[in-house]
Amino acid sequence: MREYNVAILGATGAVGTRMIEQLAQSNIPVKKLKLLASKKSVGQKRYFNGTAIVIEEATPASFDNIDLVFSSAGGSVSKKLLPEAVKRGAVCVDNTSAFRMEPRVPLVVPEVNPDDLAWHHGIIANPNCSTIQMVVALNPIRRKFGLNRIIVSTYQAASGAGQSALNELNMQAKQMLAKQTVTTEMLPVKGEKRHFPLAFNLLPQIDVFEDDGYTHEEWKMIHETKKIMVGDMNDTTLKVTATCVRVPVEIGHGETVYFETGNEEINVEDIQKVIANGDGLELIDDPTTQTYPTPLSAVGHRETFVGRVRADQEEKGAFHMWVVADNLLKGAAWNAIQIGECLVARDLVRVVK
């Protein structure tokens, strides 16, 4: 059995930490694991299957003799270092948005479009957290009944903006409860001019604004959904619109998803049945016993949870549902490691230029 030399780039972040965990629990045969981060983390230790591994600084030479890279160190780091890794023969699963819209880069959710892995050229992009859980939930519905339109509103946790955003939310919550002045340093977007408190508040901005008033996050959900489900980021047969809002939750994104199947013969039970049987999905849906998923109940799980499936009362063939997943696991670390498992199972851990 082939064993792999694996590197995790960005190993100290909220997602990187979980990539180490998820890799340890995966069926990827790891010969050696290298943990890479920026200079300031060098010398720190992380544990993998009980063995301490010292963090090294990420440089192009770090990828010599590496077969498989999982990257979550930010877009600019990925842009700079992943081509170097590929040049050295490594296959890279990138959790940043750096390569997602490149035509030569497959954007993969294993439950939805695993076959797109076959045409990779060294880099496979992991989609945006809020996109992943939505397409996992909609995919079996689309396959069985068709899908014409999606309108989604997100309720996204602080950890989607990284460990420092999570820390900021906690600090702000403590300050507000103690009636102290609230510190605002990075949310909603690090690097933006203005910062607002997220604790006990809602921020209708995730990522920067584009000229048309949409945020980059909203466009990511639109384009990525089309690329993953239809194979074309500019597809016009599947209509998608998103509004993305940051909420004062630590981990776990919620989404209210409205969708039109175009199929007027189906009912709520039909939708519930395909979700209950869908890959990576769990139906948590019984209003009579107040049974529905929440971020707190989803934390630490790999599955995408769906509840509150209802028929739209105004439009035949249209439905609503509530989708929740751990944004650091299915929305990031686990989806990336799962791509790694698929690459191994299909013997695709090799670069074809």
Does 300 bind its own copies (CB under 8 A)? Our answer is no
Which part of the chain contacts its own copies (CB under 8 A), choosing from 43-51, 102-110, 137-145, 293-301?
293-301
The single residue among 42, 287, 300, 345 that binds its own copies, judged by CB under 8 A, is 287
Q: Is 280 annotated as a binding residue?
A: no
Does 249 bind its own copies (CB under 8 A)? Our answer is yes
Does 268 bind its own copies (CB under 8 A)? Our answer is yes
Q: Is 301 a catalytic residue?
A: no
Whose CA is closest to 330, among 272, 282, 273? 282
The CA dihedral of 191, 193, 198, 202, to the nearest 10 degrees, is: -110
Whose CA is closest to 97, among 69, 136, 120, 130? 130
Instruction: Kindly name the residue from 120, 129, 223, 244 that is annotated as catalytic.
Output: 129
The single residue among 43, 119, 312, 350 that binds its own copies, judged by CB under 8 A, is 312
Does 177 bind its own copies (CB under 8 A)? Our answer is yes
The single residue among 30, 230, 276, 311 that binds its own copies, judged by CB under 8 A, is 311
The single residue among 144, 201, 263, 348 that binds its own copies, judged by CB under 8 A, is 201
Contact 320, 258 (CB under 8 A): yes
Q: CA 306 to CA 308: how far, in whole Å?
A: 7
The single residue among 10, 16, 110, 248 that binds its own copies, judged by CB under 8 A, is 248
Angle, helix 129-145 to helix 216-229, in steps of 10 degrees: 40
Q: What distance separates the 2 farthest-apart alpha carbons in the chain?
A: 61
Q: Is 246 annotated as a binding residue?
A: yes
Q: Is 156 annotated as a binding residue?
A: yes
The single residue among 55, 247, 271, 344 that binds its own copies, judged by CB under 8 A, is 247
Which part of the chain contacts its own copies (CB under 8 A), choosing from 87-95, 122-130, 274-282, 302-310?
302-310
Contact 330, 304 (CB under 8 A): yes
Residue number, 106 or 252, with CB nearest to its own copies: 252
Instruction: Please state the closest distance from residue 188 (CB atom) to its own copies, in A.
Output: 8
CA distances from 171 to 90, 198, 201, 205 (A): 40, 10, 14, 20
Does 306 bind its own copies (CB under 8 A)? Our answer is no
Instruction: Kindly name the residue from 120, 223, 244, 253 that is annotated as catalytic.
Output: 253
CB neighbours (10 Å) of residue 27? 9
Does 337 bind its own copies (CB under 8 A)? Our answer is no
Instruction: Give the x-and-dash track for 202-241 against its own copies (CB under 8 A).
Output: xxxx---x--xxx-------x----------------xxx
The single residue among 232, 262, 315, 346 that binds its own copies, judged by CB under 8 A, is 315
Residue number, 230 or 245, with CB nearest to its own copies: 245
Summarize the annotated binding site as residue ranges: 12-15, 40-41, 100, 156, 159-160, 246, 327
Binding site for its own copies (CB under 8 A): 149, 151, 153, 155, 170, 173-174, 177, 188, 192-194, 196-197, 200-205, 209, 212-214, 222, 239-241, 243, 245, 247-250, 252, 254, 256, 258, 268, 287-290, 292, 294-296, 307-315, 320, 322, 324
Residues labelled catalytic: 129, 253
